[in-house]
Amino acid sequence: MSKTVERIALVSNSPGSERHLLVHRYGRPGARPKAYLHASLHADETPAMLVQHHLIRLLDAADAKGEIRGEILVLPAANPIGLGQYLNFHHVGRYEIGGGGNFNRNWLDLSEGIAEQVKGKLGSDPAANVATIRRAIGEKLAAMTPGTEFSSLRLTLARLAHDADIVLDLHCDSEALLHLFLIPAHWPAARDLAAELGSAAQLLADDSGGGSFDETFSTPWTKLASALGPKTPIPPACFAATVEFRGQADVSDELAEPDARALFRFLQRRGLVAGDPGPLPPLEAEATSFDATDVARSPIAGIVAYRRALGARLKKGDLLCEIVDPMATDAVKSRVPVHAGTDGLLLSRALHKSVRPGDSLGKIVGTVPLATRQGYLLED
């Protein structure tokens, strides 16, 4: 058996307390390909942690039979800080309540300064260029010193993932169908992941605007390739994706175990685990540009009364929902309609039905880029 379990302590934020990350490592260190999978960077997005629980069981069985071929790192819970954040019995795991902000925004740009660092060291061999760039990124991360618990969490995760061939950031939405976020350079190569998971939408953006975890590892390669030009071949060497395992309430063995088996088959297809994954299931949806996805937002504070179910096909102008003002004196005039901004699939809705102005009410996946969807493409 190749498995080891590592416990990595974070910087302590207060005397007498210490949080840690738990890493399940499979295969020989340095073996290729390398895959990194972590769950619930947004710590209140529970489904992914249960998926990882089942995936670890599958990998343990494969390891016992000597079937691990690459190196696999699995973090069943990527955010011990957020796991401990409760306010009035309510779990608040999306933002660091000490002021650090959204756990999955404003991650480090790993390409910054790397072009200068590798100047004169790159040539015509793409594989050699990838190895050189990975070393440079690793040296950059190794030179950093975290000053807080929050920064030590980020730096530890980045050090674990920076040299991986595959990085999967496992999340969930509020209330949603399973879907993926990717950069265009990894489509159609990601069809195997999308098909295995039965993903209802594959949303592509070169830069979603938020500095999310997956783009921290996928976009340095495209940025460096653009900066250094075609004479220096640099492939998109890290296939990174965000996987949204439906909605926050979709937590069950009946969902998580098949999801884990799908991830396991994906790892087999990518050469990390021996064995025949069987025929690839049909793809449920082709990829679309993320700027073609309409994000409906609430015009007022109130209560959402949805008129369309998840998975519905809408036309532009169709009634999505109404926002009810419970304080209105005239009940007839207390409802404000919200309409679809494009033709497409209703991919997500708000789990909590009490909303404020500007809150997201749902994503409608269209095929035509929208003028209103520029720059920051994420919901919050």
Tens of pLDDT, residues 231-289: 999 999 999 999 999 999 999 999 999 999 999 999 999 999 999 999 999 999 999 99
In-domain check, residue 374: no
Do residue 356 and residue 343 come from a single domain? yes
Q: Is residue 83 part of a domain?
A: yes
pLDDT of residue 320: 98
Rounded Cα–Cα distance for residues 117 and 122 (Å): 11
C-alpha 150/C-alpha 125 separation (Å) is: 38
Structure tokens at 83: 């796991």
CA distance 373 to 290: 8
Assign residue 231 the CATH number of its domain.
3.40.630.10
Quick check: 241 and 182 in contact, CB under 8 A? yes
> Is it the case that residue 88 has pLDDT exceeding 90?
yes
Q: Residue 34 is inside which H or E element, if any? A: strand 34-39
- What domain range includes position 316? 290-365
Range 36-44 average pLDDT: 98
Q: Tell me which amino acid residue 63 is.
A: D
Say if residue 53 is in the same domain as residue 114.
Answer: yes
pLDDT value of residue 380: 85
Is it the case that residue 200 has pLDDT exceeding 90? Answer: yes
Last residue of a domain, one of 285, 302, 323: 285
Of 267, 285, 303, the one marking the end of a domain is 285
Shared-domain flag, residues 225 and 357 = no
Within this chain, do residues 109 and 124 fall inside the same structural domain, yes or no?
Answer: yes
- Tell whether 172 and 302 lie within a shared domain: no
Are both 250 and 302 inside the same structural domain? no
If you average pLDDT over every residue of the chain, what do you get?
A: 97
pLDDT tens for residues 137-178?
Answer: 999 999 999 999 999 999 999 999 999 999 999 999 999 999
Question: Over 90: is that where the pLDDT of 102 sits?
Answer: yes
Q: Say yes or no: 163 and 275 in one domain.
A: yes
Task: Tell me whether residue 380 is in a domain.
Answer: no
Please indicate, yes or no, whether residues 258 and 360 belong to a single structural domain of this protein: no
Angle between the N-to-C axes of helices 47-64 and 253-269, in degrees from 0 to 180, rounded to the nearest 10 = 50
- Mean pLDDT over residues 199-204, rounded? 98
Q: Are residues 173 and 321 located together in one domain of the fold? A: no
Residue 332 confidence (pLDDT): 86
How many domains does one find in the chain?
A: 2
pTM: 0.97
Domain membership flag for residue 120? yes
Q: How far is CA 191 from CA 72, 195, 232, 252, in A?
A: 21, 6, 28, 26
* 276, 329: one domain: no
Q: Give yes or no: residues 277 and 297 share one domain.
A: no
> What kind and span of H or E run contains 262?
helix 253-269
CATH assignment of the domain containing 360: 2.40.50.100
Q: What percent of the chain clears pLDDT 70, i.e. is strictly above it? A: 100
Residue pair 170/241 in contact by the 8 Å Cβ criterion: no
Residues 212 and 351 in one domain: no
Planar angle of CA 184, 188, 190, nearest 5 degrees:
90
In this prediction, residue 1 carries a pLDDT of 86
